[in-house]
Structure 1
Amino acid sequence: MGNLFKKILRQYLEYPRADRNVIIVLVAMILITIFVNELVKCLPEKPDEDYSTLLEKLKIWEETEQNREAARTTFSPFDPNTISEEELNSLSIPRQVARNIIKYRNTGAIFSKPSDLRRIYGMDDSIFSRIEPYLQFPSQKAIYPKKKETLPAEMEHIGSFDPNIATAERLKLFGFNSFQTDNIIRYREKGGQFKLKQDLLKIYGVDTPFFEKLAPHIKIQPTKNSAQVKEEKLDFVTIDLNSADTSQLKKLPGIGPVFATRIVKYRILLGGFSKPSQLLEVYGFPPETYYAIENQITTDTTNISRIRINFADYAELIRHPYFNQEMVKAMIKYRDNNGIIQQLNELEEIKGFDKQTIEKIRPYITCR
């Protein structure tokens, strides 16, 4: 027996060190497996678990949730003009839709028929079909007797106002809420004008009952006649599109802060306007506005920025609105193969450059 052990040990030591380590690990794993297997056999068997208590609690929880959901989705007749936000949230109406209903009412608007609720953002067909049978619309006279009293009682003593020039404070003095006042101011800033009293009904949030109470106090100043307007146009100083800033551009009729900013940005992209009609290239610029101010605008082309096409790289060329990728790549390839471009007419040999295109970009490029 001793000789057998020595023989096995001698053979074991003949293996390389790495192989001996692997043998040790394998033997250890075998021994651990045998030990664990015997240990499991010695453990007492665990009796079957009794899940009856857990299942009973789960059943009770499900019944509670079902009852809660049934209570939450139970509708009763309600008036959308008077129901509170808390009561709306107790129904199966999404919170965002409930908030939008309250916001709509806060503008002074009234729901007079079921279809009015379809105006609410987020009110889809499934929500509307669930609540429609429960909507109630009692007579507005009985339910909202104070609706006609939205204006201050002392308004009879404060005279009249012109919606074209009245300040926000003045409008609020006549009973306009903040929402209505902001809409009137924005309407005027965009170039809108009230020519008739009834034009106030164009303002979102101003309804007929409110307007009828307000109408006796609206005094719109008469607009200038055509002769006066013509005389003012003759006296109006022309504006150079290449030097005017946004404040000067806004003096032109029909041009507000948005178009003034777009004109300046487009002028920078171009390098300057070479002719007034390029205003029509400004995003969204109305042709009728251009023709109305055509005689009041000029373009001084002496300071137009020109691109040196023999030295400009791809990034500089592609920034210009009149160049596209195909044109820029073709020009650079032509320049690499043939050297510098001596005359602008050579561009006709390049793909994408016809006579019309060359004349269009001529003010903005140079061969120098």
Structure 2
Amino acid sequence: MGLTQTEAASLVRYRSYDKIFRIPEDVAACYGIDDSLYRVLKPHIRIARRYTTAPQGYRPGRMVAEPLPPEQFRIDTVSARYLEAIGALTRQQARTFVKWRDTHPICDMAELRKCYAVSDSVATALEPYIIFSEREPAAPRYPIELNDADSATLLLVNGIGEKTAGRIVRYRERLGGYWRTEQLTEVEGVTESNYEKISAQICCDSCRIRKIHINFAPAPELQRHPYLTPQLLRRILKTRQLKGGWSTPEAFNEDNRLKPGEAARLAPYLSFAPPGGDDDE
């Protein structure tokens, strides 16, 4: 049959301990017989009728006289005794299933049907009562890019909660994108110490920034940007109306009397070319 000497000895030793193979799944309980080997052997296993007959006597409390009516249960925590009590599986099948489940996550019916202890008809009968656990999310691939991540992806960062993730996305929309990861400290709820915790898990692609066409953008669009204060916005609109716009960042900064810090943080978001010009590429 292709078994190794150790595997064959394991089967014989099972019988030598006065144990009886009553169902094919009992073979899988033998030491050294793994799932893949059992699947190869299963079509060739035959159990004589006299051995499949259930024993006449049971110890008190070891058998349920009438099957319990099934109720909803979680497949990842259900006990072998409950599966036996509702009549879904025999005692040995239930134990085999629990042993198999502990090493094979079950999150849907397709994965349940892979268990050799559960037949298709039993799986179909149990389906209305089974509660599956949610599949574990895939491990995040660090670093996470701030300008591409949605709220759910940001939650994978250790140190970012649900509220903070929403605030990061909303602030990104107002900015037009992050050009430095340090800008997260401007988001409500992200402290300096918290930023130090998450900084190694994030990165920032400044090429994704949505720029403002400062010579053409309407007032409502300019007003939404968090770096354009009401006072600065009034100066920009007034000067633009008088001069018609600016061709360089230096001229813009000089006309609007920007401080070096203000000019530096605003510069990545400004475009001085017409919409669709080379500055947008």
| TM-score, normalization by structure 1 | 0.35
Greater helix share, 1 or 2? 1
Higher-RCO chain (CA-CA 8 Å, sequence separation at least 6): 2
TM-score (norm 2): 0.46
